[in-house]
Structure 1
Amino acid sequence: MNKEKVAFIFPGQASQTPGMGLDLYKNSKAAREVFDEADEILGRKLSNVIFEGSKEELTKTENAQPSIATVSIAAWRAIESEMGTIQIPNYTAGHSLGEYSSLATAGSLSIKDTIKLVSIRGELMEKACTDSPGGMSAIIGIDENSVREVCSQTGTYLSNINTSNQIIISGKKENLTNAMDLASRLGAKRAIPLPVGGAFHSALMSSAQNELNDVIDSTNFQDAVVPIVANTDARPITSKELVRDELKNQLQNCVLWNDSIGFMTDNNVDTFYEIGPGNVLAGMVKRINSDLTVKNISNYSQVLDYVESRN
């Protein structure tokens, strides 16, 4: 790494697009091996879903989660292959699902176990969406305390604090309708239902979290070589015990993304690389602090740009 302090960040669900990662697959042997390994681990051609599947098929939680993680990890492996050396940022973090990708790049989870875990996570979340129906809404333009009051009065949950004035809530559909009405009355510029299948990062995911925890307990974790800024408390973790605890609580708790970026910038990180499909996180980081340098790495050309900038 050069003199600036760097963080690798990894996107979560809703970053998927049909055909993502195909450029990496065609141009990088290291990336291609990740896609092939994912197909083998899952016993199905996930790569076909990613490269050739419809938007509807790719958007299913059971497909979206392993697909996004696979593309993110493939981009990271392409970087290391082209650099010819392991890349050690100052911090790493991922948004919800992206936290699993960050654990793979930090050496806490093997690629095999990462793909297995996110696939099971996606299946369990899909099942929870059926068993405990709900949704999510974005509240824009009022602060966290106001949104907490909205949740308190409407039986909804604070799910993602993405920026100081972009906050996601979740809950049962009728409760969300009441929450959006109340948020608007409190001055929210917008209150928008999100096109997701369930109430992620809320108590409605308890059945998924409980079943996932059995799998997490049986998974082999290592101490991370890079501090991971945890979703649930925006603090750095490296020990395998803390990593396991983080994942066992993540699905029912709020993603403190605004605080996570704040922690890293308070510790002098000035350059963020979003590794994986889309640029959702890059947009959030710039809204949090417009002075930061934010770059995307989702295709082979961007991998080569990274290599050139680091040499």
Structure 2
Amino acid sequence: MRSPRYALLFPGQGAQFPGMAERFHDRSPTVRDLFDTAERQTGLPLRQICFHTDRIDQARTDWNQPAVFLAGLAGWYALTEEWERRGVTNPPVCVAGHSLGHFTALAAAGALSTPDALELVRRRGELMHAASLASGGAMATLVGLAESTVARLVREADDRAVSVAAVNGPDQVVVSGADSAVEKVMDRALHAGAERVVRLAIALAAHSPLMASAAAQFAPLVSAAALREPRTPVLLNTTGHASRDVAEIRADLHRHMLAPVQWWRCLQTARDAGVELLVDGGPGRTLSKVMRRDLPAGAVHSLDHPRGAEALLP
């Protein structure tokens, strides 16, 4: 019996929860070493943030991004350690990450070393946190409207102050921007027949023009990053295309903070490549819940589950 062809996927900011990655940490020496190294590198109490901090405090952007990155990588490290113990080799067909999760995917695929990816994530979190303190902002998920409809609502509201931040499915679109402009889009979405409109519990306008100053300061770090050809194709956030080309991956990172996340295109690319199972690498199952709305039953599997590794064993 062969194991399924799978894509390894990682969530972004908002996936945090108290206790994330703790069970991987408790059973895996490799994960404990990962936390030791990350705490020394960043100076952050990452065990405390991941294991013992409530979800509201975990949401602080400059803490959240290194913690969610580390928790996602911990699950992958624990899984590969278990495979090595069993003598199993089962690499993914491709990897991808949603927004912040893209950096976890790059590290998992070997396009960035773990220390280099963590340093980029740490600086990204600091810059985005500073931008949010300076300009505020909000994000909201609109369910039940096509991307074209949401794009029209954004233009009508003021597309200099609000923009499409992510396309998570054919009728799951996230908007981001100035608080008043996001509220206006939410109200118009309800009048346009949206099934559900949810303001995200985050004081941040990711993937919007309000991140322009953060993106400008992040750009030199992307230019200097020691990227290398990944072991497996990476699905690019801004296009949804699969790539192992270092120049393409770097160009995607330069656009990454301001452009919308084309998540639905990423999933379609994975399925077109013969992927049979989409594996949510965690932390948590936030990404699984987003994907299950638009995909067949059994197409999505969460690694952050007591028996998460078993679906990937031959």
**TM-score w.r.t. structure 1 length?**
0.94
Equivalent-residue separation in structure 1 for 2:157 and 2:41 (angstroms): 42
Partner residue of 2:307 out of 296, 302, 310: 302
The share of aligned pairs that are identical, in percent, is: 28
Counterpart of 1:161 in structure 2 is 167
Equivalent-residue separation in structure 2 for 1:96 and 1:138 (angstroms): 15
Equivalent-residue separation in structure 2 for 1:217 and 1:302 (angstroms): 40
2:219 is aligned with 1:213: yes
Partner residue of 2:109 out of 106, 110, 114: 106
Equivalent-residue separation in structure 2 for 1:91 and 1:310 (angstroms): 17
- Counterpart contact for 1:72–1:298, Cα < 8 Å: no
Equivalent-residue separation in structure 2 for 1:213 and 1:181 (angstroms): 35
- Residue 118 of structure 1 aligns to which amino acid in structure 2? V
1:26-175 to 2 correspondence within 5 Å?
26-84=26-84, 87-155=90-158, 156-175=162-181
CA drift of 1:3 comes to 5.5
CA drift of 1:177 comes to 1.8
CA drift of 1:303 comes to 5.2
- Residue 267 of structure 1 aligns to which amino acid in structure 2? A
Distance of aligned partners of 1:216 and 1:192 in 2 relative to their CA distance in 1, 3 Å threshold: same
- Counterpart contact for 2:96–2:102, Cα < 8 Å: yes
Distance of aligned partners of 1:10 and 1:35 in 2 relative to their CA distance in 1, 3 Å threshold: same
- Residue 280 of structure 1 aligns to which amino acid in structure 2? T
CA drift of 1:86 comes to 5.9
Residues 46-71 of structure 1 show CA distances to partners (whole Å, capped at 9, x for unaligned) of 21221122333211011111111101
- Counterpart contact for 2:3–2:313, Cα < 8 Å: no
Counterpart of 2:274 in structure 1 is 268
Counterpart of 1:7 in structure 2 is 7
Equivalent-residue separation in structure 1 for 2:309 and 2:276 (angstroms): 21
Residues 221-268 of structure 1 show CA distances to partners (whole Å, capped at 9, x for unaligned) of 111111111110100111222111111111101011111111111222
- Residue 302 of structure 1 aligns to which amino acid in structure 2? R
CA drift of 1:191 comes to 2.3
- Residue 170 of structure 1 aligns to which amino acid in structure 2? S
User: How many pairs are equivalent?
Assistant: 308
Structure 1: runs of 5+ lacking an equivalent: none
Residues 188-239 of structure 1 show CA distances to partners (whole Å, capped at 9, x for unaligned) of 1222221112111111111111111111222211111111111101001112
Equivalent-residue separation in structure 2 for 1:195 and 1:304 (angstroms): 31
Equivalent-residue separation in structure 1 for 2:116 and 2:273 (angstroms): 31
Structure 2: runs of 5+ lacking an equivalent: none
Distance of aligned partners of 1:294 and 1:28 in 2 relative to their CA distance in 1, 3 Å threshold: same
1:12-23 to 2 correspondence within 5 Å?
12-23=12-23
- Counterpart contact for 1:13–1:65, Cα < 8 Å: yes
Equivalent-residue separation in structure 1 for 2:308 and 2:30 (angstroms): 12
Counterpart of 1:240 in structure 2 is 246
Residues 96-121 of structure 1 show CA distances to partners (whole Å, capped at 9, x for unaligned) of 00000000011100111111111111
RMSD of the TM alignment (CA)?
A: 1.7
| 1:288 aligned counterpart, secondary structure | coil
Partner residue of 1:177 out of 172, 183, 196: 183
CA drift of 1:270 comes to 1.2
Distance of aligned partners of 1:110 and 1:147 in 2 relative to their CA distance in 1, 3 Å threshold: same
